[in-house]
Amino acid sequence: MSGIFSKIAQGQIPSYKIAEDDKYFAFLDINPLAKGHTLVIPKQEVDYLFDLDEDTYTGLWTFSKKVAKAIESVCPCERIGVAVVGLEVPHAHVHLVPINTVGDIDFSRNRVAMTKEEFAAVAKEIRLGFLNL
């Protein structure tokens, strides 16, 4: 049975999509630490990042780099912080978070409240940024 992130990648569950190719999918985190907080997943459903095969693993980081550049081009920030947690959803994923201080990527802090319209607008901007890389 497919997990929630596989269903998102297959379009069975809606998401604010940022980018995809045949192996990877990027979408906004629904409970973001910052505007533009994005998750990047391999379409292959493997729970633990370090269990991915070498090609899928290195490809995930290459794809994440492109997504990070697109976020950077849209969300004003010092840099894009990267985290891998995976305690909530058992499908390997990289968190890309626009940050200005180390506290901005503290997963125990309050998340940012965003309206559907704000999610849709920032996703559209980052999507365009990705296409223009």
The reply on whether position 86 binds ligand AMP by CB under 6 A is yes
Look at residue 46 and give its three-state secondary structure. Answer: coil
Which residue among the candidates 37, 91, 93, 95 is catalytic per the annotation? Answer: 93
Residues found in the chain: 133
Rounded to whole angstroms, the Cα distance separating 122 from 115 reads 11
Instruction: Determine which residue in the list 85, 120, 128, 133 makes contact with ligand AMP, applying CB under 6 A.
Output: 85
The reply on whether position 89 binds ligand AMP by CB under 6 A is yes
Query: Is residue 31 exposed (0-12), middle (13-18) or buried (19+ Cβ within 10 Å)?
Result: exposed
The reply on whether position 4 binds ligand AMP by CB under 6 A is yes
Examine the residue annotation and report whether 95 is marked as an active-site residue of this protein: no
Closest by CA to 95, choosing from 40, 19, 33, is: 40
Query: Which residues ranging from 13 to 32 are in contact with ligand AMP (CB under 6 A)?
Result: 15, 29-31
8-15: long-range contacts at Cβ-Cβ below 8 A with a sequence spacing of 24 or more?
9/41, 9/43
The reply on whether position 87 binds ligand AMP by CB under 6 A is yes
Q: Which stretch binds ligand AMP (CB under 6 A): 48-56, 72-80, 86-94, 116-124?
A: 86-94
Q: Which residues are catalytic?
A: 93
Q: List residues near ligand AMP by CB under 6 A.
A: 4, 15, 29-31, 39, 85-89
